[in-house]
Amino acid sequence: MLVATELKGELARIHPARACCRRAELAGLLFGRRGPHSRRAASIRTLDHATARVAVQLAASVGVRAEGPMPAVSGSAPAHHGSATRRHLQVVLDQSADESLAWDEAKACDRRAFLRGAVLNASISLGAGGTHIEFVFGEAAPANQLLSRLRSVGVRGGLLTRRGRSVVYIKGQEEVATLLRLTGANRALLDFEAGRVARDVRNRLNRLLNAEEANVDRTVRAADRQLQAIAQLAASGELKRLPDGLREMAAQRSRQPDADLDTLASALGVSRSAVNHRLRRLVALAAEARPEAS
């Protein structure tokens, strides 16, 4: 099963050849990590070592000074990163780091690089209990902007507010698969698709087994009613007065109490519908005889 660390590890091993793609990926990592038009240093906090390493490498490749990765100082976590008691790594980039990207004018490769950086800094869950990716921001503006950018490349997401933070979320196997394809996570995509196929096959098999079990249960109950009816007709003496076809049917059912209709039809040399009709007739005759017997 694909896990978040494997996905981020694969993304971290992608080294963009073009400087524009490296700047775009760094912009994705930094996106929403400081207020609009702020010139203060940007800080990337992550639990993932690969993400921290990528932040330093990208910064160095585009001439931005970076410090770290280092353990995050307790109590210094921004509001959009949750509890400060978690063991985050922190990379601090100087004010020359740029998180902006002219999305509408950006080339396709720059858009993919930007999304790759954003996913590296996202919260990812790909377990059997559900598939979703979350991008958490302290303000609504970058959340709305990211949601618009995702939609422009065919990834549908949602927006919610959780504990004062804006969260862009992507749920559903098709949406997650599209995002993995865009970011270049090909191995992760194959693992994800394999897991999805396995789950689909397992679910289909379970449905078939449940349906078969229900069919067997109905067959057993029907056979029990038929055997009781035959026993009642035999005890009352009615069975020997029935036409030959019904008596043969009763005898065959008594010899094969667990057989299905096809097996009984083959043994008698008649059609399946004829067997079904005769058995229904035996049950009906037994029901008609009960009031007389009482």
Is the whole model's pTM more than 0.75, yes or no? no
Q: Is the pLDDT of residue 251 over 60?
A: yes
pLDDT in tens, 128-157: 566 788 999 988 999 999 999 999 999 999
Share above pLDDT 70 across residues of the chain, in percent, rounded to a whole number: 87
What pLDDT, on a 0 to 100 scale, did the predictor assign at position 41? 66
pLDDT band at 81 (very low <50, low <70, confident <90, very high): very low
Pairing of the two strands 89-93 and 42-46 = antiparallel
What is the overall mean pLDDT for the chain? Answer: 83
pLDDT in tens, 85-129: 457 788 888 766 777 788 988 999 999 999 999 999 888 886 656
